[in-house]
Amino acid sequence: MGKETMNVELAVVGGGPAGLAVAAKAASYGVQVTVFDENERPGGQLFKQIHKFFGSKEHQAGIRGHDIGYSLLSQCEEFGVKTMLNTVVWGIEKNMLGIQNNGRTYTIKTKKTIIATGASENPLCFPGWTLSGVMGAGAAQTMMNVHRVQPGQKALMVGSGNVGLIVSYQLLLAGIKVAAIVEALPKIGGYMVHAAKIRRTGVPILTSATICEARGENEVEEAVIASIDEKGNVMEGTQRVLPVDLICIAVGLRPLAELCWMAGCKFMFLPVLGDHVPIHDENMRSTVKDIYVAGDVAGIEEASTAMEEGRLAGIAVAEELGYLGSEEADEKKNLARKRLESLRLGPFGDTRAEAKRKLTESEVNR
Amino acid sequence: MRIFYHPILGKLEEKRKITLEVDGKKIAAYEGEPIAAALLAAGIRVLRMSPKREEPRGVFCAIGRCTDCVMIVDGQPNVRTCVTPARDGMKIQTQKGLGKWAKKL
Return the half-sphere exposure (C-beta side, CA atoms, 13 A cut-off) of residue B85.
Answer: 13
On whether both A170 and A209 belong to a single domain, the answer is: yes
Please identify, among A188, A219, A249, the residue that sits at the C-terminal boundary of a domain.
A249
Cβ contact, residue pair A143, B55, below 8 Å: no
Tell whether A244 and A142 lie within a shared domain: yes
Torsion angle in degrees (nearest 10) through CA of A139, A141, A146, A147: 60
Q: Is residue B47 within 8 Å of A132, Cβ to Cβ?
A: yes
Q: Residue A49 has what pLDDT? A: 85
User: Helices then strands (H, E): number in chain B?
Assistant: 1, 10
CB A284 within 8 A of CB A12: no
**A138 shares a domain with A107:** no
Contacts of A38 in chain B (CB under 8 A): 64, 83
Angle (CA) A320 A60 A50, round 5°: 115
- Cβ-based contacts of B1 with chain A (< 8 Å): 149-150, 153
Do A267 and A181 reside in the same domain of the chain? no
Tell me how many domains chain A contains: 2
**pLDDT tens track, chain A, 366 positions:** 446 899 999 999 999 999 999 999 999 999 999 999 998 888 888 888 888 877 666 667 778 888 888 899 999 999 999 999 999 999 999 999 999 998 899 999 999 999 999 999 999 999 999 999 999 999 999 999 999 999 999 999 999 999 999 999 999 999 999 999 999 999 999 999 999 999 999 999 999 999 999 999 999 999 999 999 999 999 999 999 999 999 999 999 999 999 999 999 999 999 999 999 999 999 999 999 999 999 999 999 989 999 999 999 999 999 999 999 999 999 999 999 999 999 998 777 899 999 999 999 999 887
**How big is the CA angle at A118 (ends A113 and A124), to the nearest 5 degrees?**
150
Compute the nearest-CA separation of B17 from chain A (Å).
14
Please enumerate in sequence order all residues whose Cβ is within 8 A of that of A106, keeping only pairs 6 or more positions apart, or say none: A2, A4, A5, A6, A98, A99, A100
Predicted confidence at residue A57, as pLDDT, reads: 64
> Cβ separation of A150 and B40 shorter than 8 Å?
yes
Within this chain, do residues A110 and A135 fall inside the same structural domain, yes or no? no
What distances in angstroms separate CA A353 from CA A19, A24, A160, A339, A342, one per listed residue?
21, 25, 22, 12, 10
CATH class label, B5-96: alpha beta
One domain, residues A223 and A283: no
pLDDT at A55: 66
Are the CB atoms for A54 and A24 separated by under 8 Å? Answer: no
Q: Are residues A228 and A261 in the same domain?
A: no
- Are A240 and A267 part of one and the same domain? no
**Which residues form the domain of A166?**
123-249
CA dihedral A174, A178, A184, A190 (to 10 degrees): 40
Task: Quote the minimal CA–CA distance from A160 to chain B in Å.
Answer: 19
Report the pLDDT value the prediction gives residue A289, as an integer from 0 to 100.
94
Do both A36 and A105 map to the same domain? yes
pLDDT of residue A285: 97
Same-domain status, A80 and A151: no
pLDDT tens-digit map of B15-68 = 999 999 999 999 999 999 999 999 999 999 999 999 999 999 999 999 999 999
Q: Which of B34, B63, B83 sits opposite A120 (nearest CB)?
A: B63
* pLDDT score, position B14: 86
CB atoms < 10 A from the CB of A355, how many?
Answer: 19
Q: What is the mean pLDDT of residues B67-74?
A: 96
Q: In this complex, do B57 and A38 lie within 8 Å of one another by their Cβ atoms? A: no
Residue A1's pLDDT is what? 46
The pLDDT, as a whole number, for residue B105 is 60
Q: Which of A117, A132, A170 is the best residue to mutate to test the B interface, defined by the most B CB atoms within 10 Å of its own CB?
A: A132
Mutate to test the interface with A, among B63, B65, B70, B76 (most CBs of A within 10 A): B63
CATH code of residue A102: 3.50.50.60
CA-nearest residue of chain B to A44? B63
In A, which residues are within 8 Å of B83 by CB distance? 38-40
